[in-house]
């Protein structure tokens, strides 16, 4: 059906409320905007929904949420035969309409006879992952757009192991969602009746207390925290999101005394009014935190994104200024800390393993080798790390120790199956305290790791390409590079090209190819000489193409120079 016909249908059909119709009538003279909103359905991808909030089939609104939930309900009824397990835990963050969308999802599930457990207030994504496991649910939903700009919201689906839905379940759910072609197929239960029938339930403090207990159990050196607590200061910002209560509680309960939250960013705010982009990957998000840290002479600054699954860390550098650690830096510091601490205590398992994504620093490989620990590499997306944890539990071949990705996400422990900024913030502060007890800063600790393993440096460039034209440009760019790959870049030969879409790796020296075991994904990875590499992939959550870079040097200066040369060469010669 033509997008104008669908637009008119939404205005005329009594199914849609007057507020929706009013919004749509206001764009009656803007055909391009109508096209953007109605030229397709908001795509239910392998992680769920994510899009701009507004009326239309290609927008996040209660109708698209209902439709997606009906598809999920159909899948649950198809897969789960035990009525006692037909249950879904639902959480939401501080974004616009998050609570409303969460309740809409619950009532659709209730309309299909599926029990729901809705958090009574906003909660971190990792706590939802924990709740799914704790309550024995078939699935979980969290309403969030993570660190996207304020105009976005989203809908992420989790499965019974607490991880984001992995293959092949993700594709099967997508098929069920696509079968819901008309809103008349959506079943919605009256809230009052759903409560009476025991279908609509509110999660109480028991879940939160149990989650906090599991997070605190990952602390390794609580004695040192208590030892230096009087002289150690933390500044924390939840960036208007869900992290404030759990992070502050955990830090206090493991022994930290001087923790100051940035007052302007303490409370939930769907507009994220103090930042242009509520993302701990963006140094500008920490302007207020740095100001407070200077006043308090803080040892460390930590910040969590709106759904508290990513954490940013800042520490004092050699000049006394607060320096932003990348996700790779934080991840490597925590990996080294966990492995070295367990080894010194004699509890490092022989079959231990750490997991990272394909675009995460190669320094993790060196750390794993140092401690004789197996390192596993997975596709981008923490759900693949979660899937590996499940495999370890089922086979017993390895014991999970730590997993992280370059995009500021990590997890210690197996109580959840998604990245957890609460536990990562706790461990980062604990590690900084351990270094302070040695008379060092966390920054100096990082420099020690560089001297030990080599100067690994990484970078990420993103190109935003919005709308219909943007999607075509991203597709065209990847196709062009795939058909005409470089054999040399920045003075370095390309040794191997890994095409994850074709699941083939080609050695350019021997001309041999090998089959790759990881799932299909539209990713191109180039292995260069001298342990350098770069990788290109479309974002799974934003209208962007992402280009990742990595090098290794014998000094920081050399590594920085190599990285700058690689970035410049790729962006000017490959990304056109």
Q: What is the pLDDT of residues 511-565, one digit of tens each?
A: 999 999 998 999 999 999 999 999 999 987 678 899 999 999 999 999 999 999 9
Radius of gyration of the chain (CA): 24
CA 569 to CA 572: how far, in whole Å?
5
Which tokens in the block code for residue 129? Answer: 């992952």
Tokens representing residue 264 in the block: 């302007």
The alpha carbon of 99 is separated from its chain's Cα centroid by a whole number of angstroms, namely: 20
Mean pLDDT on 310-335: 96
Q: What rounded mean pLDDT belongs to the chain?
A: 95
Average pLDDT over residues 31-59: 92
- Two tokens, residue 201: 């339930």
Q: ω before 524 within 30° of 0 (cis)?
A: no
Mind telling me the catalytic residues?
146
Phi and psi at residue 301, to the nearest 5°: -115, 135
Mean pLDDT value across residues 362-384: 96
CB 382 within 8 A of CB 411: yes
Answer for the pair 111, 103: CB distance below 8 angstroms, yes or no.
no
Confidence of residue 65 (pLDDT cuts 50, 70, 90): very high
User: Which pLDDT band, with edges at 50, 70 and 90, does 447 fall under?
Assistant: very high
SS3 of residue 497 by DSSP: strand
**Structural domains in the chain, sorted by start:** 40-203 (3.40.120.10), 212-453 (3.40.120.10), 455-573 (3.30.310.50)
Alpha carbon distance 174, 170 (integer Å) = 6
> Percent of the chain scored above 70 by pLDDT?
100
Task: Quote the CA–CA distance of 434 and 431 in Å, as a whole number.
Answer: 5
Residue 492: both structure tokens together: 């370095």
pLDDT in tens, 419-440: 999 999 999 999 999 999 999 9
For residue 464, what are the CA distances in angstroms to 181, 467, 543, 566?
31, 10, 6, 21
For residue range 83-97, what is the model confidence (pLDDT) as tens digits?
A: 777 999 999 999 999
The whole-number pLDDT of residue 45 equals: 79
**Residue 46 pLDDT more than 90?**
no
Compute, in degrees rounded to 10, the torsion defined by CA atoms 47, 48, 54, 55.
150
Task: Look at residue 80 and tell me whether its pLDDT is greater than 90.
Answer: no
Residue 277 has pLDDT above 80, yes or no: yes
Q: Give the model's pLDDT for residue 170.
A: 87
Among residues of the chain, what percentage have pLDDT more than 90? Answer: 90
Token pair for 143:
């309403």
- pLDDT mean over 347-352: 96
Q: Are 500 and 522 in contact (CB under 8 A)?
A: yes
Check residues 44 and 99 and name the one with the higher pLDDT: 99
Tokens of 123: 């909660």
Integer Cα distance of 474 and 479 in angstroms: 9
């Amino acid at each position: 059906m033509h997008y104008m016909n669908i637009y008119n249908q939404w205005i005329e059909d009594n199914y849609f409320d007057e507020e929706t119709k009013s919004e749509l009538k206001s764009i009656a003279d803007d055909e391009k905007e109508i096209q953007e909103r109605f030229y397709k359905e908001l795509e239910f991808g392998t992680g769920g929904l994510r899009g701009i909030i507004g009326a239309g089939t290609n927008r996040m609104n209660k109708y698209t949420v209902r439709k997606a939930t009906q598809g999920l309900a159909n899948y649950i009824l198809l897969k789960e035969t035990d009525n006692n397990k037909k249950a879904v835990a639902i959480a939401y963050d501080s974004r616009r309409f998050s609570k409303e969308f969460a309740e809409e999802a619950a009532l659709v599930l209730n309309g299909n006879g599926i029990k729901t457990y809705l958090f009574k207030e906003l909660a971190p994504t990792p706590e939802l992952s924990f709740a799914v496991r704790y309550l024995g649910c078939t699935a979980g939903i969290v309403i969030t757009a993570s660190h996207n700009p304020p105009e976005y919201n989203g809908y992420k689906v989790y499965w019974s192991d607490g991880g984001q839905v992995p293959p092949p379940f993700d594709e099967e759910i997508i098929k069920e969602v696509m079968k819901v072609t008309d809103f008349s197929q959506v079943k919605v239960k009256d809230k009052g009746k759903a409560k009476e029938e025991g279908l609509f339930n509110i999660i109480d403090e028991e879940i939160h207390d149990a989650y906090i207990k599991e997070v605190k159990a990952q602390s390794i050196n609580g004695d040192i925290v208590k030892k230096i607590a009087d002289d150690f200061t933390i500044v924390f910002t939840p960036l208007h999101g869900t992290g404030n209560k759990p992070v502050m509680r955990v830090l206090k309960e493991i022994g930290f005394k001087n923790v100051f939250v940035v007052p302007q960013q303490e409370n939930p705010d769907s507009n994220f009014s103090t930042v242009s982009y509520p993302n701990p990957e963006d140094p500008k998000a920490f302007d207020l935190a740095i100001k407070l840290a200077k006043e308090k002479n803080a040892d460390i600054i930590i910040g969590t994104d709106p759904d508290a699954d990513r954490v940013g860390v800042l520490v004092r550098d050699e000049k006394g200024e607060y320096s932003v650690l990348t996700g790779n830096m934080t991840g490597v510091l925590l990996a080294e800390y966990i492995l070295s601490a367990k080894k010194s205590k004699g509890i490092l398992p022989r079959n231990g393993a750490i997991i990272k994504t394909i675009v995460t620093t190669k320094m993790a490989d060196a750390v794993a080798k140092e401690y004789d620990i197996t390192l596993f590499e997975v596709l981008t997306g923490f759900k693949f790390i979660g899937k590996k944890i499940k495999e370890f539990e089922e086979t017993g071949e390895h014991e999970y120790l730590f997993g992280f990705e370059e995009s500021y996400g990590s997890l210690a422990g197996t109580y959840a199956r998604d990245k957890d900024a609460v536990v990562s913030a706790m461990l980062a502060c604990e590690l900084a305290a351990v270094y302070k007890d040695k008379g060092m800063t966390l920054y100096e600790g990082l420099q020690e790791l560089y001297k030990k393993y080599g100067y690994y440096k990484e970078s990420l460039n993103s190109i935003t390409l919005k709308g219909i034209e943007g999607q075509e440009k991203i597709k065209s760019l990847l196709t062009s590079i795939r058909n005409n790959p470089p054999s040399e870049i920045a003075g370095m030969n390309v040794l191997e090209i890994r095409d994850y879409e074709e699941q083939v790796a080609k050695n350019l020296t021997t001309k041999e190819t090998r089959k790759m075991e990881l799932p299909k994904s539209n990713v191109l990875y180039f292995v260069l000489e001298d342990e350098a590499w770069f990788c290109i992939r479309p974002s799974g959550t934003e209208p962007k193409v992402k280009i990742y870079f990595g090098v290794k040097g014998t000094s920081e200066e050399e590594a920085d120079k190599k990285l700058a040369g690689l970035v410049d060469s790729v962006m000017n010669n490959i990304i056109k």
